[in-house]
Amino acid sequence: MPVTDPVADMLARLRNGHQALHADVEIPLSRMKADLARILKEEGFVEDYKVGEYTISIKLKYVDGRPLIAGARKVSTPGRRVYVGVNEIPRVRNGLGICVLSTSRGVMEGSRASSENVGGELLCEIW
């Protein structure tokens, strides 16, 4: 059965993997999900990721046996896109989390989008 919202599916797989205390999760490959995995690694939310031919393998990160990703929220959905300008990019959990945007310059984290003076579609928030 095809997935209508791939980013929401990825966030659900990460959340389910953390709840089950798995070491890693497998996610079907797409370019946007690979970019999101790259951002999660750069920001320290996951240990590592590997892009295979058809899947992305993400190694989950735990601190003292507790998942590092406390929560994730999908903002834009296929039925309701949410766009933000450079001055409207939200701070997540008072700076403890990140927001991910799909911009004209690619998928990037909110603070990087601010520094590059670009807005876009607000995909998700992770804390």
CATH code for the domain in which residue 40 is found: 3.30.1370.30
Q: Given the structure tokens 């497998």, which residue do they identify?
A: 26
Query: Residue 96 sits in which domain range?
Result: 72-126
Query: Does the residue 36 lie in any domain?
Result: yes
pTM: 0.92
pLDDT for 1 equals: 65
Residues 57, 20 share a domain: yes
Q: What is the pLDDT of residue 7?
A: 95
Closest CA to 29 of 1, 9, 59: 9
Residue 49, domain member (yes or no): yes
Per-residue pLDDT of the chain (127 residues; tens, 9 = 90+): 678 999 999 999 999 999 999 999 999 999 999 999 999 999 999 999 999 999 999 999 999 999 999 999 999 999 999 999 999 999 999 989 999 999 999 999 999 999 999 999 999 999 9
**Total domains, the chain:** 2
Q: Do 121 and 87 share a structural domain?
A: yes
d(CA 57, CA 114): 29
Across the strands, what pairs with 94?
Answer: none
Specify if 1 maps to a domain: no
Q: In this predicted structure, what is the pLDDT of residue 46?
A: 97
Residue 3 confidence (pLDDT):
83
- Are 50 and 92 part of one and the same domain? no
Which residue reads 């659900």 in tokens?
A: 12
Q: What are the tokens at 45?
A: 């939310």
